[in-house]
Amino acid sequence: MSEITRISMTFPQDLLKDFDEIIANMGYTSRSKAIQDAVRSFVSEHKWLQDEEGEFAGVLMMLYDHEVKGLEHTLTHIQHEYAHLICSSMHVHLTERDCLEAIAVKGEASEIRRLQDHLSTKRGVKIVKLMIIPV
C-alpha cells in the first residue's frame, strides 16, 4: 500500500453539501474515499492528454458566471488566441448569471490541453469538460 498524506481543503458550503449528498446516494461511507476517486478521475482525464501527441478533435464544454467582471472579455481573447484550433462555438444562456459554451476544436493534443487549461483557470469559470478523440 502506498504512503498516505493528510491534507486540509476548503470548499464553498453549497459545493460540499452537494458533494456529500451525491456520495451518500452513491453509497460512499467515507468522504476521503470519494475525494480520492474524484482526484483519480481528474488526474486520469488530464494526464493522458498531456502524454498524447497527434491530431485530435473534440468539444470543450464550459460553464461560467458572465457577471464576473472582465471574464467575458478574457474568454473571448483566449478564444481568439486559439482560433487555429476552434472550428465553431455555441453560446447558451442558462440562467441570469450562468452561460454554457460548447467549443468545437481540432488540432494538436498539447494545444487543445493548453486551451482547456487557459479557460478553466480563470476566475468565474465553474467547470470545463473536454470530450476528445484522435483523428
Q: CA–CA distance from 27 to each of 7, 31, 35, 40 (Å)?
A: 23, 11, 14, 18
Q: Looking at the domain assignment, is residue 6 inside a domain?
A: no
pTM: 0.67
Q: How many domains does the chain have?
A: 2
Does 40 fall in a domain? yes
**Amino acid 51: pLDDT:** 63
CATH number at residue 88: 3.30.70.1150
Give me the mean pLDDT over the 79-96 stretch.
Answer: 97
Residue span of the structural domain in which 31 resides = 13-49
- Beta-carbon contacts of residue 117 (< 8 Å; ≥ 6 apart): none
Within this chain, do residues 24 and 83 fall inside the same structural domain, yes or no?
A: no
Are residue 84 and residue 45 in the same domain, yes or no?
no
Q: Which residue has the cell 470519494?
A: 34
Instruction: Decide which of 24 and 48 is more confident.
Output: 24
User: Do 67 and 107 fall within a single domain?
Assistant: yes
- CA angle at residue 72 from 17 to 14, to 5 degrees? 5
Residue 30 backbone class (left: φ over 0; alpha: ψ -120 to 50; beta: rest): beta
